[in-house]
Amino acid sequence: MALRNKLMVINAGSSSLKFKLFQMGQAGEGGALSAIASGVCERVGDPSASFLRAKANGSEESKAQHAMPDHTSALGAVAQYLSSAFTGDFTKDVHGVGHRVVHGRHMSQPALISAEVRSTIEQAADLAPLHNPPNLMGIDAALQTFAGVPQVAVFDTAFHQTMPPAAFMYALPYELYTDRAIRRYGFHGTSYKYLTTQAAKMLGKPEAETNLVICHLGAGSSMCAVQGGRSVDTSMGLTPLEGLMMGTRCGDIDPAITSYLAAKGMSPKEIDQMMNKKSGFLGLAGNADLRNHAEARFGPHVGGDAAERSRLAVDVYIRRVRKYLGAYFMHLDGQVDAIVFSAGIGENSAPMRREFCRGMEFAGVKIDEAKNEGAGVGKAADVAAADSRVRILVLPTDEELSIAQQTVDVIAAASSSAAAV
């Protein structure tokens, strides 16, 4: 018998396919979702080297070689793994599949995948050439593997569709916006949506009355100003390159640097690669991971060129975050309930959080050093001092859970509107 009590989330990249499987609670349990399996197919497209790493039901992670010439075979390997981890043909128990789709252009809500939605994702591939085509491959693979199961696209850009024109327009000729859809879109929206809900709960306020500055600081980093539960500004733009410095991305630079380098003979592709893959922590200090530089910046002083470059990279990163913090406090007229720190750096690095908030008492922000140091990995915490007007929250993000929840909601809304017809 088909139970239809599981929810699958898929995040397909160019050579990878990540999945997370959730058990849906009974209606009586509030419909809660709990993760029961997860994994990633790596080196998809290279059948001699591709493999699946996965775990289910609390087991140790296993790694197995599978020939995966494409995303359909990768998802086939996942389905096979899950069918043996759970009893029978697990695909029959799947209620819905949620897909992370990076760029959704004007889409402001997650949507059931139809021919029209598929074509929006295809059109947006022009703006997100590295992300949307593999997202589509994941969708096509899932349409085959989970035939007849509702599929939902959850867009990373959707949460930011509430930005006002003054925030999303570039000061370029207006026709670039009308004719080519060149504007700021913003990303990490699934994370911001989830964190807004979590923060409002923690603050004991309705989302619609909650103002936040959220810092999603990982290998990819961005920030978002949330007013009344809605995004009013964010640091990423047309692509995920704008804004903060990141692991390998430069973030904001003078755009004239690109034309200068082009005039010196670099091709557009080389410039793009340099800004996206060879800049940020990697470009400044030789390694993309903050953990490799934090000791030089926060530990006992060591001399030498490498340590100097590490300190410089960390300082550039901190300065950029503080610049956006200041800007977003202004956008919110100083009416900020909480600063939220999330993702790899935001959740794990107490010294970075301390530096971001240093000297912000004038804006009502005062960190409690002991609480900040004591914030447990993977746990929500308020690390603000008791007399801080603005709370400082450390919140683990969970983009897959957010995608799963949104998928359940879209399917429920679609079936109730179908029933109403």
Known binding positions for ATP:
18, 216-220, 289-291, 344-348
In the sheet with 391-394, reading across from the earlier edge strand, the strands are 230-234, 221-227, 212-217, 338-342, 391-394, 381-382
The closest of 318, 306, 394 to 360, measured between CA atoms, is: 318
Looking at residue 223, the DSSP 8-state letter turns out to be: E
CB of 95 to ligand ADP, least distance (A): 27
For ligand ADP, the closer of residues 104 and 218 by Cβ is 218
One-letter amino acid for residue 391 of the chain: R
Instruction: List the catalytic residue out of 93, 156, 337, 382.
Output: 156
Residues in the chain: 421
Contact (CB, 8 A) for 270 and 258: no
CB of 337 to ligand ADP, least distance (A): 23
Contact (CB, 8 A) for 196 and 210: yes
- 3-class DSSP state of 197: helix
Q: How far is CA 139 from the centre of its chain?
A: 19
Q: What residues between 80 and 119 interact with ligand ADP by CB under 6 A?
A: none
- 3-class DSSP state of 267: coil
For ligand ADP, the closer of residues 50 and 348 by Cβ is 348
Binds ligand ADP by CB under 6 A, chosen from 130, 181, 274, 294: 294
CB of 97 to ligand ADP, least distance (A): 21
Q: Residue 218, interface with ligand ADP (CB under 6 A)? A: yes
Active site residue 156: yes
For ligand ADP, the closer of residues 232 and 352 by Cβ is 352
Binds ligand ADP by CB under 6 A, chosen from 74, 226, 345, 411: 345
Q: What residues between 236 and 275 interact with ligand ADP by CB under 6 A?
A: 247
One symbol per residue from 306 to 325: x for binding ligand ADP (CB under 6 A), - otherwise; what is it?
--------------------
Neighbours of 114 (CB within 10 A): 11
CB of 320 to ligand ADP, least distance (A): 15
The C-alpha atoms of residue 151 and residue 9 are separated, in whole angstroms, by: 10
The closest of 171, 209, 215, 227 to 191, measured between CA atoms, is: 215
Give the residue nearest to ligand ADP (CB).
Answer: 344
Q: Which residues bind ligand ADP (CB under 6 A)?
A: 218-220, 247, 289-291, 294, 343-345, 348-349
Catalytic annotation, residues? 156
